A = this chain, B = another copy of it.
Amino acid sequence: MASQIFAPDVEQVLDVSGIFVFALSGSLLAVRKNFDVFGMAVLAEATALGGGVIRDLIIGAVPPVAFTNTGYFLTPLLAATVVFFLHPEVTRINRTVQTLDALGLGLFAVTGTAKAHDYGLGVIASVALGLITAVGGGVIRDLLAMETPSLLRWDRSLYAVPAMLGAGITAALIAFDDLNAVTGTAATLVAFGLRMLALHYNLRAPRAWRRGSSQTGEA
């Protein structure tokens, strides 16, 4: 199976790490929105597992892995607990959190694409589902917190494009029957690297083309 890119133990460790850091971002938003501890847990779960749940519902992998792997389900609660007691400290290491988040973004784009392909979806659909796996949780997080999804906003650095790149490379590797632990890691790192560049240089995607006018002043 293409989705078995890494050895099961390795994949489990990687997945749990990605889930943990995604859950941190959900919990931190809940703190900023002044939600209670239960709202922190809900946003942690939704951010960390939401993208994978949507992917699994669409490809027909029910119940979604988020509901069958207890470790995946409990990890966001651990992240919410950490943020509950230590949110000023977690906020202070924001740079580290963003770096780990970029790794999770790349990882979920690659593994999500591979899992969708395993369930028989075509190349384009698999890339779309890799993207949904990587960014879907963040959209659900923002909707629950009544914020415009940062994914869609012009004034945020590139987030979806790195995930699309990682998913696209993965789909190409599958097509050439060349997806394995080494190439899968490489695809993850390419997505990670582009995301880090976007953060560092504040790279943005363009807005709709405005003839004869500047692109500024409307954000």
Chain B residues lying within 8 Å of A73, measured Cβ to Cβ, are 124-125, 128
Query: What's the least CB distance linking A191 to chain B, in Å?
Result: 15
Chain B residues lying within 8 Å of A63, measured Cβ to Cβ, are 58-60, 119-121, 125
Choose among B62, B64, B120, B146 the residue that contacts A148 (Cβ–Cβ < 8 A): B146
Query: What's the least CB distance linking A145 to chain B, in Å?
Result: 7
Among A103-111, A171-179, A201-209, the stretch in contact with B: A201-209
Using CB atoms, name the residue of chain B closest to A40.
Answer: B208
Question: Chain A 111-153, CB within 8 Å of chain B: the 1/0 string?
Answer: 0000000011110110011000000000100011111110111
Residue contact B160 to A38, C-beta cutoff 8 Å: yes
A53 at the interface (CB under 8 A from B): yes
A83 at the interface (CB under 8 A from B): yes
A58 and B172 CA atoms in complex are apart in Å by 31
Chain B residues lying within 8 Å of A207, measured Cβ to Cβ, are 31, 34-37
* Given A37-B208, A53-B58, A125-B63; A149-B144 close (CB under 8 Å): yes
Q: How large is the interface on A (under 10, 10 to 19, 20 to 34, 35 or more residues)?
A: 35 or more
Residue contact B145 to A143, C-beta cutoff 8 Å: no
Question: How many copies of this chain are found per oligomer?
Answer: 3
Chain B residues lying within 8 Å of A129, measured Cβ to Cβ, are 67
Chain B residues lying within 8 Å of A70, measured Cβ to Cβ, are 122, 124-125
Chain B residues lying within 8 Å of A60, measured Cβ to Cβ, are 62-63
Q: A37-B206, A70-B124 are in contact. List 11 more A-B contacts (CB 8 A).
A: A36-B152, A37-B208, A39-B154, A40-B208, A42-B151, A58-B63, A63-B125, A70-B122, A73-B124, A83-B208, A139-B144
The 8 closest A-B pairs by CB, nearest first: A39-B152, A60-B62, A36-B205, A67-B125, A36-B154, A35-B152, A31-B208, A146-B148
Interface set of A (CB-CB < 8 Å, partner B): 30-31, 33-40, 42-43, 53, 57-60, 62-64, 67-68, 70, 73-74, 83-85, 87-88, 119-122, 124-125, 128-129, 139, 143-149, 151-154, 160-161, 204-209, 211, 218-219
